[in-house]
Amino acid sequence: MHQRSGMFNDWYQLDSLQWLQEARACGTCPVEGRGRVVGRHGVLILIPTHTTDDEDLQRTINITWRRAVTRRDSTRSSLSNKNVTSPKGDVTPFCAQTPSSSTGSTIIGSQIAPPVAPKDFRVPLTCFFWYHTGSCKKPDNKCLYAHYHTGTVAEPPISINGKAMGGTRAKNMLGNISQREEELSIRSTEIHDGEQRLIAARANLEERLNALAAREKHIQQREEAIQQREDTVQQREQTIQQREQTLQQRTQAIQQREHNNHSREQAFAVFEEAMLRQLEASYTNITSTVSQMRRAVSNAQNILTNRRHQVLYHENFSNSLQGTFGQGRYGGSIAIDGAIGALGGLDQMLLQGEINLHAQIHNAIKRQ
């Protein structure tokens, strides 16, 4: 796309890549320094600001348009017009749009003419005949220039039979520009709606983050409470272990007493058979009771161990709240408390059995 320079009225700027393509199409591609490219408005004196090699295609090249005497061989002109083609919708290279002349060369005054935009410039050009004579032999849809005043009037053709390039393409370009403006307006509305949605999403995100922070704080408090309960459970487990050791010692003492009683039974062989049978029955019942107590204590230990694993699991992996019937995170503590109470009852039963055993043995000795 061409743009007017703000320093000089007769200077234009052209994208380096487009300039290089047009120069290659014309067969004149300067590498560095000053080059010449023949265009439709006369001689293009190309003055690059930097070296224009293949590694520097994106730099801006200053181009000055000056009218001069153009002498071109008709054979070269015809070959250029045949070889250079303009893709549909693209800007045609300047050398391919050079108007043909019946004489093969045209002499133009040496005085520098006022600058006129190229015929494929983004701003459409007004038809010369329509503007000066009020009539044009071509209809609006056939003339390549605009049949309305656009602010810039096209130059008259160099020869009477020369082709005028411009208007229909200019109209199409204006239509494309209007369509692009409408699309840009629609995109602007969509972007504004997207920004509003983004603002709403950010507000929603902030609200969710605040709720998440409050929930995290609540979870930390619950974790601290669970840690305290776990410490309490560990202390109770230590107490239960101590009581188990005491129970084992008392069981060993009972076994020792049973052994002493057996020795005394052998010593008191003269006891009556009925008394001995009654004593043996009492001893068997007490032994069975002690065994049941030991099994109950073992079962209670297993229950406590399993419940402790459940408490640890719920503490680390579960977020479920405490249920109505003791299920959930606090169910393990309730079960452990119940097991401790059961062990206390078993301990009392064991103590009572031991007392009964002593009483029966004492009574048997007295009867003897």
CA distances from 266 to 95, 151, 256, 270, 337 (A): 137, 140, 15, 9, 45
Contact of 265 with 276, CB cutoff 8 Å:
yes
Sketch the domain layout of the chain as residue ranges: 128-214
CA distances from 194 to 180, 198, 199, 208, 341 (A): 20, 6, 9, 20, 66
CA–CA separation, 91 vs 78, rounded Å?
20
Contact of 32 with 48, CB cutoff 8 Å:
yes
- CB atoms closer than 10 angstroms to residue 110: 9
The label of the residue with tokens 């070269």 reads 76
The tens place of each residue's pLDDT in the chain, 368 residues long, gives 333 333 333 333 334 444 445 544 544 444 433 333 334 333 333 334 344 443 443 333 333 333 333 333 333 333 333 333 333 333 333 333 333 333 333 334 434 444 454 555 556 788 888 888 888 888 888 887 888 888 888 777 655 555 444 455 556 666 777 888 889 999 999 999 999 999 999 999 999 999 999 999 999 999 999 999 999 999 999 999 999 999 999 999 999 998 888 777 777 666 566 666 776 677 778 777 777 776 777 677 677 777 767 776 776 665 554 444 444 555 555 666 666 667 766 767 776 776 777 677 667 656 65
User: In the numeric block, which tokens belong to residue 91?
Assistant: 């800007």
Closest CA to 121 of 101, 151, 147, 100: 151
Contact of 331 with 318, CB cutoff 8 Å:
no
Contact of 63 with 41, CB cutoff 8 Å:
no
Helix (H/G/I), strand (E/B), else coil: 45: strand
CA–CA separation, 296 vs 346, rounded Å?
8
Q: State which H helix or E strand residue 270 sits in.
A: none
